[in-house]
Amino acid sequence: MLWDIFCRVIDNFGDIGVCWRLSADLAARGHQVRLWVDDASALRWMAPNANLKGMNGIEVLGWEQSKDAQQLEHRRRADVWIESFGCEIAPEFIAYYATPMGAAGQFDSGKPVWINLEYLSAQAYAVQCHGLPSPVMHGPANGYAKHFFYPGFTEGTGGLLRETDLKDRQSRFDAAGWLKQQDIERRPSESLISLFCYEPPALPMLLQQLADGVKPTRLLVTAGRATGAVRRAISHNNGLKPLWNERGTLSISYLTALAQTDYDHLLWSCDLNFVRGEDSMVRALWAGRPFIWQIYPQDDGAHEDKLTAFLDMLTAGPALRQAHHWWNAPDTSGPGALPPLDTWGEWQESVQTRRQRLLQIDDLTTQLVGFVEKKGKI
């Protein structure tokens, strides 16, 4: 099938990250994908082997091109339209392809399956709303219907992105070899922690706690906002206590921007992973290692209910819940602190248990293909 996937990059590249993983997974299964995106610059490091003029079944196109009739003239209408995360397909695109004789009569009057791919949530509404239609009542697409498609953690949702070869790649992965390629030499008995974050107020305290620990720790900091946040936190700690890491217990390695496959490798190599947003949280689940998720904060506080639902799904114990709420707190003025990190074993058990259950649910791509085949006339 031919899939049109539409993506607007809001911030933090989570949108394009999910859309690229989905595009790559569809292409790996023999489908053709056109990814229409308003900013493809992140793909230079996220998917460095991608040829933006078309490679392995994926064609990356600019958002403005979707509004240009001359650009659309020689392109056949796709079998599937996917609006990712509430972005809306350009009216010009809809008008062009909603007319049966649009692309020089290249297609018949059949309608594409139109999907609104929603954000991931463990809340109950994901099950309640998954698959529901939303009829289009006006305009050139009058008579079409969009369908809400909710990724999720349970039966009755659309599942999670998971490549068909994921388990095999994990079983063959050489962590020591990969770390060596990144010029990271692990000290004896050293714990490795990956850090992918926004700017959590608790970060200076985390650095201090790791520096005060008995066991040596190396923090592997991802490029971008996490690197900036760590450098500011170090400056903050230096101002309060210049010798806060005088024993050298905490070592810090700043990473270059990682391709998606290398980010997976980072998660598989570490003893604990700090992740943020949607895509990296899913990858942390598949890594099967203890992790702490920084949820994207919303002004109305809706993210708090979303975080609680996620922890309930994970059947998280008290220490893991406390760690998440501490890491996601808007400031450090309230009571509490990060629980001792020697509870990692308990955390890993929660993650491994949920991971095994999730592996029994069809992945997102499989479910999308099945949904399209059921709704369309493929």
Please name each of the domains of the chain with its CATH number. 2-161+361-375 (3.40.50), 166-358 (3.40.50.2000)
- The Cβ-side half-sphere exposure at 161, using a 13 Å CA radius, reads 21
- Taking 70 as the threshold, does the pLDDT of residue 319 lie above it? yes
Scanning the structure block, which residue is given the tokens 């091109």?
A: 65
Comparing CA positions, the residue from 61, 121, 55, 52 lying closest to residue 93 is 61
Q: Which residues of 109-132 are buried (b: 16+ CB within 10 A; e: fewer)?
A: eebbbbbbbbbbbbbeebbeebbe
- The Cα–Cα gap between 12 and 378 comes to 36
More confident residue, 127 or 339: 127
CA 369 distance to own-chain centroid: 20
- The Cα–Cα gap between 316 and 347 comes to 7
Q: What tens digit of pLDDT does each residue of 146-183 get?
A: 999 999 999 999 999 999 999 999 999 999 999 999 99
CA 143 distance to own-chain centroid: 33
CA 221 distance to own-chain centroid: 18
- The Cα–Cα gap between 305 and 151 comes to 17
Crossing angle of helices 14-28 and 364-375, in 10° steps, is: 70
Q: What tens digit of pLDDT does each residue of 45-103 get?
A: 999 877 555 557 999 999 999 999 999 998 999 999 999 998 999 999 999 998 754 44
pLDDT band at residue 235 using 50, 70 and 90 as cut-offs? very high
What positions carry a catalytic annotation?
A: 15, 278
The phi, psi pair for 256, rounded to 5°, reads -75, 170
Under 8 Å between Cβ of 180 and 117 = no
What helix, strand, coil percent values describe the chain, rounded to 5?
A: 40, 15, 45
